[in-house]
Every structure is written in structure tokens, then in C-alpha cells.
Amino acid sequence: MEKIKTSSAAKRSGENDKPGSLPYIWRRLKKNPGAMLGLIFVTVLFLLSFVSPFICRYDYQEIVMKSRFTLPCMEHLLGCDEVGRDILSRILYGAKYTLSIGVLSVVVSCILGVILGAVAGYFGGKIDTLIMRFLDVFQAFPNILLAIAISAVLGAGFDKVIYAIGISGIPGFARMMRANILTVRNSEFIEAATSINCSTFRIIVHHVIPNAISPLIVQVAMGIASAALSASGLSFLGFGVQAPTPEWGAMLASARGYMRDYPHMVIIPGLFIMMTVLSFNLVGDAIRDALDPKLRD
Amino acid sequence: MIRYIGKRLLQMIPILLTVAILIFTLMYFVPGDPVEIMLGDTATPEQIAAARAKFGLDKPYLIRLWNYLVGIVHLDFGTSYLQGSSVASELFLRFPRTLTLASLSILFTIVVGIPIGIQCAIHANKLSDKIWMFLTMLGNSMPGFWLALLLVILFSVKLGLLPSNGTGGLEYYILPVVANSIGSLADIARQTRSSMLEVIRSDYVVTARAKGLPEKEVIWKHALPNALIPIITVCGSRFGFMLGGTVIIESVFSIPGIGMYMVNGINSRDYPVVQGSIIYIAFIFAFIMLITDLIYAYVDPRIKAQYVKSVKKA
């Protein structure tokens, strides 16, 4: 409660937010045009993907054989695919897959990673060694390979991609959280909390994690970017979301056979993947800059 | 130094062992009976039982795991269900292609990425720096396989300059290497820029300039070596990343490396193949990480001094 009070008090005083606090980050973020563009792009895309069935002229799964391979034109702004489905409708409808896989898999790796990292960092000793050695094993694989291995076991599908990518992202979050906890653990306010008989759980949740949160936000933004990238790769290989679902990676995979004659089918989904990932990267980068004391305004 | 290498190699053993156990266990729990898939619907129960016995699938989990681990020690990764060939010999045959692709990619990344980073650091916050930083961020956000497809459309289909798939001379590797490196290249450039920026303001760089050394020498001989450590970390992990990333690039360019072997294995549910490929790459990855650590010691005399001390103590 006290934390909320102080942060709202800081908000009232405007420019005097504590560096590293959420309002402070937001204030710095607003000054960064790249990050704002990224945020706007992702938000618009997200909203459009839900309203697209109502505003698009064509249904995303409507097959019209006579408009096969239509190049981008006024009728079909982004052209049509190999069975005459309108690519723009498919892209907009498919946006929710890329975005939600990115976000949800980071939620999975963030929650599990933060718990593991916080426990390892706070308790130290044998528990720490055990958890860190366990994570070493996970980090013995290149990330995408681990995701492929997990999805080979789970099979293809929307929810399975989330687990595959989410699990392969755990070590990164856990390591970062542990490092943060280690720096916070020995500070005086933790000692104070211990001395007034706070439970360990309360100390971790109310005192340790809030003070280690800002690097976490950077990692989340960057994590969404790389998760979206891995997801498109998995779908492209056929291990992720599968055609005919208009996930962008899956669209690329099915367009691949026609790329020699109809490059637009390959160029467009990839462009959207790139812009989405770029948006998250821009936001992540801006938050990192906002947290960097050397770059403080 | 040798003592340190030995210690690191010993430390790797439990990790590699756990990796092998983990992957074996994961594959053990995959739904679907490989033998039934292999023999098809027409197989009689006797045939299925015979095939299970042949591949040792009728034994309990622990015995199978033990046999598999003993096999790995003897460089035997089992037998492919489909081709009936040894997975290990296939891996050894294919590994040079994957390694060539990954090594050329990391070479390209270093040769192009580090100079870009240095230039950006020298001209920090000027227009050229901002443009390059935006381009690297773009590269970082681009799916490598998409770039691969675009490169094929441009250089193979439209211009007819480079082959679009297969293996052969160096020209077959140009497009895959570029596509495979793009993300890492961007990453290394950014890392180089930020660690150069930290070094460039330090006292010894000022001293080097003050004693009248040419700017080139200041940058390459005084600043860069001190900025190298974090760059080497990124290079090492990126090299491993590339070994994994080649999975997608190999399948775009139909390069018969380990990645493609693994993808085919997954698609045909040939689990010894999948298992073998993953464990093999994880082993190679671990060695690359070890080599990265050794390069540290070579580059940074401070770390080297630590070994010397610890050896003396022991």
C-alpha cells in the first residue's frame, strides 16, 4: 500500500518521479518517437485483428478460385493467395496469433523464470545451486533448438507453441531475476522487513520483486519480440500453428512454393512479422535507455 | 591453463549427461508408437512385437536409458527407425555442412558487424550512427528465413546470379550465410558500439591520443582490445545460436546438414534421429562455450592472471 501511495504522490509532483519507477519510464517513453510508433503499431494491429471480420471486404477463409494469385491492386490491397483468399484479411485476422503467442509465451517464461530466479537468489545455498545447475542444462541448447525439441514432443498447435517457446525462455528470466535479487537482498530495507517479522513470502513478493522489476520490463519487451520471431520460425517449419490458420509464419510456409512467380505472397507476411518484432524491440530499447542512469535527462 | 581446461571439461560431464537424459526422457513420452507408424496399418501384432524387440523398445525405461547413454559414450546414437542406418554415421557425414554454414556465418558476422559497431561508436549520435542503429534494429527484427526467401527471389530467380538450393562450391553458401547472419550481425554491431562507447572515454584512450598516436591506432590497438570481452561473449553464444538456427536456413536452402536431418526426423517421427541430432548439437554448443571462455583468457590478461594464481595456490 505504501508503495502505491508514494508513487501516486510522485505522479502529482510530476517530473520528480523516482528514476526507474513506472511513471518515470512512461514519461521517458513518451519522448521517444520510435517507441511510441512501435506501441501504436502493435495496438492498432491488435485492435484490427479483432474487428477485421467486420470491416474487411473479404472473409479471411473465403476461397475464390478465379482471383488466385491476384497481385496487390485496388480490389485486393495486398493481393490474393494460391486459392484466392484475400491476403489483407488473412494478415489482419492472423495478427492475433503472432501477438498472442508472443505475449503469452513471455507470460509463461516470465512467471516460471521469476519464481525460480527469486527463490534461487533469495535462499541461496543448496537450493540456488540446484536451480542454477538445472537451468544450465536448459541453456546447453540453442534457444530455438529447445523450442523445436519441445514442440516435437508436444506436437503442433497454437497452445503448444506457447509452451515450447515459453519454456525455452525460462532460463533467461530466471538468471536476470536471480542477479537482481542478489543485489537487493542485502540492502537495508530487507533487513528492516526481516526485523519486523515479515514472512519470507511477503518479503519476496512485496519488497524484493518490486525493487527488481524495472530490468524485468526490458526483458519482457525484448522477450516478446524474440518469441514472436521464434514462433514464426516454428510455424514456418510446420511445427507451430498450421495452415490453413492464417498465422504469418504458416502463411510464409505455404507461400514458399509459389514465390518464384508470385513474390508478393512471401514479401507481405514477412514484412508484418518484421514490423511487429521491430515494434517490440523499439519499445524494449527505449525502456532500457530510460532505465540507464548514464542517459538520464 | 591446461589445468583450467581440464577442470572445465570435467564440469561439462554432468551437464551433458543431464542433457542426454532430458532429451531421451522427453522423446520417451512422445505420444504414438513409432513401430506402429513405421510398419503401417497392415502389420500384425507379431510383426509389431518383433520390431519392438529389434529396436529394444520392449524394455523398461531405465534399461533403455542406460543402453542409450552407454551407446553415446561409444559414439553410437542408435539406429534410425525409417532408414535402418546408424544415426551417428549420418550425423558425422552431415556435420561438416552445418559447421561450414555456421562458421562462415559467424565469420561474416564478425568481419562486417564489428567494423559497423566501431564506426557507430566513433560517430556516436551523429546521423550515420542513427541510420546504422536503425538498420541493425531492423536486421534484428527480421526473420532469417524470410530474408532467405527474399534473397532467393532477388539473386536466384530475378537475377539468376546465385544457386537457390543444394550444396557445392562457395557460391552455394553465400545466400544461406547472409540470411543466417543477419540477426547476429545486428546484435554484434550493437554490442560493439556500446562497449566501444564505454572504453572510448577512458583515461588510457585520452593518453593515447595525447601522446599523438594516429586515430586509427588509438581505436584498433588501444580501445578495441579492451572492448572485446563482451563482444566475444555475444559471438560465442551467437555461434551456438547459429548452429541451432541453421535448422530453418538448411531447410530453406535444402542443405543436407544436421538441421534438415532433424526436421525430417520430426516429420516422420523418427525419434532416434531427432534425439541424436539434438544431443549432438547440444554437445557441440557446450564445446563452443568452453572455447569462448578460453578466448577470454587469451584476450584479457586479468583473467589469465587469475588462472596463474589459482594454479600456484593449488
A259 contacts on B by Cβ (under 8 Å): 149, 152-153, 157
pLDDT of residue A10: 44
pLDDT of residue A106: 94
Q: What are A125-169's pLDDT values in tens digits?
A: 888 888 888 888 887 777 788 888 888 888 888 888 899 899 988
Q: Cα(B290)–Cα(B296) distance, rounded to whole angstroms?
A: 10
Nearest Cα residue to B112 out of B178, B36, B172 = B178
Q: Is A282 on the interface with B (CB under 8 A)?
A: yes
Locate all alpha helices (DSSP H) within A13-86, ordered by sequence.
22-30, 33-55
Q: Dihedrals φ, ψ of B256, to 5°?
A: -75, 65
Are the beta carbons of A152 and B153 separated by less than 8 Å? no
Residues 62-121 of A with CB under 8 A from B: none
Q: Is A35 on the interface with B (CB under 8 A)?
A: no
Give per-10-residue mean pLDDT for chain B (314 aa): 79 85 83 70 77 76 84 81 81 88 91 92 87 90 90 84 76 87 90 87 85 85 83 84 81 86 84 86 84 78 64 45
- Enter the C-alpha cell of residue B10: 570435467
Suggest the residue from B145, B175, B234, B242 to mutate for an interface test with chain A (most A CBs closer than 10 A). Answer: B145
A132 contacts: CB under 8 Å, gap ≥ 6: A120, A178
Q: What is the largest CA-CA distance in chain A?
A: 76
Contact A25, A214 (CB under 8 A): yes
- Enter the C-alpha cell of residue B311: 594454479
Q: Is A239 on the interface with B (CB under 8 A)?
A: yes
- DSSP string spanning A126-187? HHHHHHHHHHHHHTTS-HHHHHHHHHHHH-SSHHHHHHHHHHHTHHHHHHHHHHHHHHHHTS
Q: How far is A277 from chain B (nearest CA, A)?
A: 5
Contact A85, A135 (CB under 8 A): no
Are the beta carbons of A237 and B18 separated by less than 8 Å? no
Q: Cα(A50)–Cα(A58) distance, rounded to whole angstroms?
A: 15
Residues 135-194 of A with CB under 8 A from B: 136-137, 140-145, 148-150, 152-153, 155
B285 contacts on A by Cβ (under 8 Å): 140-142
> Which domains does chain B carry?
2-73 (no CATH), 90-313 (1.10.3720.10)
Other Cβ atoms less than 10 A from the Cβ of A82: the count is: 15
ipTM of the complex: 0.82
The torsion region of residue A30 among left (phi > 0), alpha (psi -120 to 50) and beta comes to alpha
Other Cβ atoms less than 10 A from the Cβ of B53: the count is: 12
Q: How far is A8 from chain B (nearest CA, A)?
A: 35
Are the beta carbons of B248 and A233 separated by less than 8 Å? yes
- Enter the C-alpha cell of residue B133: 542503429
Specify the pTM: 0.84
Q: What are A268-284's pLDDT values in tens digits?
A: 889 999 999 999 999 88
Q: How far is A266 from chain B (nearest CA, A)?
A: 8
Nearest Cα residue to B279 out of B262, B264, B303, B300 = B262
Q: What are A161-180's pLDDT values in tens digits?
A: 899 899 988 988 898 888 88
Between chain A and chain B, the number of residue pairs with CB atoms below 8 A apart is 117
B279 contacts on A by Cβ (under 8 Å): none
Nearest CA in chain B to A144: B244
Q: Cα(A209)–Cα(B289) distance, rounded to whole angstroms?
A: 31
Q: Is A272 on the interface with B (CB under 8 A)?
A: no
